[in-house]
Amino acid sequence: MSSSTLQQIVDTARSVAREVIMPHFLTAQRNQKDDGSLFTVVDLAAQEALIERLPRIIDRPVLGEEMPESVQLRLWHESEDGIWCIDPIDGTTNFVNGIPFFGVAIAYIQGGRTRYGVVYNPMTDEAFYAHEGGGAFLNGNPLPLRTPARHLMDAVAGVDFKRIPKALGDALATQSPFYSQRNFGSSALEWCFIAAARLDVYLHGGQMMWDFAAGSLIAAEAGARCSMLDGEALDMAPGRKTPVVVGASADLYREWMDWLSAHGGR
């Protein structure tokens, strides 16, 4: 575990974004997966580049979003000694629509825990990164960048309504307990916005492991608290959709969780 390892991961995310992803921003053609979600040849090319480069840093296999689920499951079941988990472009809908908000997410997982997490936003050249126990940073600056709101009523909330139970979605829309709400379209970066306290609380109804593996470590190292909607710890495995509840501080998490539980969250 070393800061030079972390720096190499950041450098890899930045170089893949610059060399493989950004030359195709605004020109990439969309394709549709069996589940209806979008991907482009750029997602595949970025995944290939990361599969080639990350094992040069730590020589373990890479599990990528764009692999068949059968391959992901096999890799995951062989991962006790460590595995990379990547989302080559998080925010593909933004990427193909020309909305300048997407990122490269890289996690290194060992023993079921994320040990290194890096999320890179090529549009702003912002690298968010952490290693377990070492704090979280944005381009060298310790996170969070500001003090989170003290109370939910003052909070800026990231709420992605995808897969949120109907009763809870209705309550969020009609009796919102926070000051203001956003949904940026890149889960990995939204976790980093919690880490920076650009967002105070966050909710997503069902994320895949590559959506949260990197960002959840970065947020935790910045002082955030999180769980699934039922209060249990986040659970990583391919093929599983995990609802996430996050607060930029322990107090905010508790207040957010209490409100969600009282309004159809469990």
Q: Are 112 and 77 in contact (CB under 8 A)?
A: no
Site for ligand IPD, rule CB under 6 A = 37, 87, 90-93, 160, 162, 185-187, 207, 211
Q: Check whether 65 is labelled as a binding-site residue.
A: yes
Q: Check whether 87 is labelled as a binding-site residue.
A: yes
Torsion, Cα 148 150 154 157, to 10 degrees, reads: 50
Site for Ca ion, rule CB under 5 A = 65, 87, 89-90, 211
Q: Are 23 and 39 in contact (CB under 8 A)?
A: no
Q: Check whether 170 is labelled as a binding-site residue.
A: no
Q: Check whether 230 is labelled as a binding-site residue.
A: no
Lay out the sheet containing 242-247: strands in order across. Answer: 180-182, 156-160, 201-207, 242-247, 225-227
Q: Which of 112, 48, 104 is nearest to 83 (CA)?
A: 112
The pair phi, psi for residue 110, each rounded to 5°, is: -140, 135
Closest approach, Cβ 70 to Ca ion, in A, equals: 19
Q: Are 110 and 122 in contact (CB under 8 A)?
A: no
Closest approach, Cβ 241 to ligand IPD, in A, equals: 8
Closest approach, Cβ 65 to ligand IPD, in A, equals: 6
- Report which residue's Cβ sits closest to ligand IPD: 187
Nearer to ligand IPD, 158 or 255 (CB): 158
Nearer to ligand IPD, 59 or 69 (CB): 69
Tell me the CB-side half-sphere exposure of residue 252, using CA atoms within 13 A. Answer: 29
Nearer to ligand IPD, 95 or 116 (CB): 95
Q: Check whether 211 is labelled as a binding-site residue.
A: yes
CB under 5 to 8 A by kind: which of Ca ion, ligand IPD, none does 91 bind? ligand IPD
Binding site feature residues: 65, 87, 89-90, 211
Binding site feature residues for Mg(2+): 65, 87, 89-90, 211
